[in-house]
Chain A
Amino acid sequence: MNQKPVLKQAFISSLPVLMGYTTMGFAAGVLLAAKSGVRLPAFWAFLTSATSISGALQFMLVDWIQKAQPMLDVVLLTVCLNIRYSMYGLSLIERFHGLPPAKKLYLIWTLTDETYALEVENKVPPGGDSILYCLTLAALNHFYWIAGVVSGALAGTALSFPTKGIDFAMTALFLVILTDQCRERKNRVYAAVGLLASTACALTVGAGRMLIPSMILMLSALIVFRKPLEKLESWKPGAGS
């Protein structure tokens, strides 16, 4: 059958992502050009955004470049930042089962928060090819993200404005994610665990060396106190205290 409606619907579904990715990517690109100190920021903006397609990571990269962060830290932090991606595939295993390797790899590679949400929603027109729909969505969103980051890097290179303090964008991004996560009451418990573990490490070993001990402390606490923490999820202040 004619698959044109599928392509059209994929484009319509992707429009909110177009808005989000180009603007957020733009901010990350400006930050890279203004603060990382790399030569050819647009080139590195392209390479990093095209290969990892991850918002928080794109902001974090600037900090890592500035500090020449050791690779072990980079690996562990990337896992922490993006661990949620490892849950997404669970609901797509059956749909992607038996696909040609190239298509399957591309769909996995491009599995961002937004693309995942749209693929699960799967608003493919009746009789349309669901895989074609997913591939089109994935490619469009991938393109929006790259376009945003690269144009931000170009703008950041071309414009010269006082950039002192612009790196607060990364802090702001994490605060936004945390605020949204804390709308769900169960997440507050785990955010508190992260807050306590990392504050303890920041106070004892300092900002420069806090990340690895924080992650170890946090993970141990989450595993060891799994049951009591699960009970806390449904604890109501005022009911018993």
Chain B
Amino acid sequence: MSGTSTEYLLLLTAVTAGVTFLLRAMPFLFFGAGKRPPALVLSIGNVLSPAAIAMLVVYCFACYVQDRAPAEHMFGLAEIAAAAVVVALQIWKRNPLLSILAGTAAYMALVQNFIS
């Protein structure tokens, strides 16, 4: 099934919306007033998020490495430079939109004009 076929897109929409809704509904389904979830569930729920986001950052970079030969993209110079822009701006200004736009613009400028 191609990713842009109507069947795939409908399935994708239903699955992502369904899973997201179930996650949101979980406390209301399982824990009435006064009943708390088990300690292990609470603790994993609290710590999984930073681990998962770190994994997704690694995944994004692994995809860049996989898509092109190292020499062709100057050993990830554009990715590293753009990522540095994002992180530095976010630490400094704490404005997600600014960090994302500036980092993406920097990356686009680099890959369209200077690298590959």
A interface residue numbers (CB < 8 A to B): 20, 23-24, 27, 36-39, 44, 47-48, 51-54, 57, 60-61, 64-69, 71, 74-75, 78-90, 92-94, 96-97, 104, 108-109, 111, 162-166, 168-182, 187-188, 190-195, 197-199, 202, 206-208, 210-211, 214-215, 218-219, 222-223, 226, 229
Tell me the bound Cα distance from A173 to B98 in angstroms.
Answer: 11
Contact A27 B100 (CB under 8 A): yes
B interface residue numbers (CB < 8 A to A): 1-4, 8-9, 11-17, 19-21, 23-28, 31-33, 36-37, 40, 42-63, 65-66, 78-79, 82-83, 86-87, 90-91, 94, 96-97, 99-101, 103-104, 107-108, 110-112
Return chain A residues, CB-CB under 8 Å to B26: 86, 89
Tell me the bound Cα distance from A122 to B25 in angstroms.
Answer: 20
Tell me the bound Cα distance from A206 to B67 in angstroms.
Answer: 11
Contact B108 A166 (CB under 8 A): yes
Q: Could you show 10 A-B contacts with beta carbons less than 8 Å apart?
A: A51-B13, A54-B16, A74-B16, A92-B27, A111-B24, A180-B94, A190-B47, A208-B66, A210-B62, A223-B40
How many A-B residue contacts, CB cutoff 8 Å? 269
Tell me the bound Cα distance from A220 to B97 in angstroms.
Answer: 34
Shortest Cβ distance from A87 into B: residue? B45
Contact B24 A194 (CB under 8 A): no
Shortest Cβ distance from A162 into B: residue? B112
Q: Which residue of B15, B51, B65 is within 8 Å of A75 (Cβ)?
A: B15
Q: Which residue of A37, A92, A173, A206 is within 8 Å of B100 (Cβ)?
A: A173
Tell me the bound Cα distance from A174 to B52 in angstroms.
Answer: 10
Question: Given that A65-B4, A164-B111, A165-B108 are known contacts, is A108 also in contact with B33, CB under 8 Å in the complex?
Answer: no
Contact B57 A84 (CB under 8 A): no
Nearest 6 CB-CB pairings of A with B? A89-B27, A194-B51, A194-B54, A51-B17, A68-B3, A207-B62
| Closest CB in chain A relative to B35 CB, distance in Å | 9
Question: Given that A164-B108, A171-B60 are known contacts, is A194 also in contact with B16, CB under 8 Å in the complex?
Answer: no
Question: Given that A108-B25, A171-B60 are known contacts, is A193 also in contact with B16, CB under 8 Å in the complex?
Answer: no
Return chain B residues, CB-CB under 8 Å to A166: 104, 108
Return chain B residues, CB-CB under 8 Å to A65: 3-4, 8-9, 12
Contact A175 B57 (CB under 8 A): yes
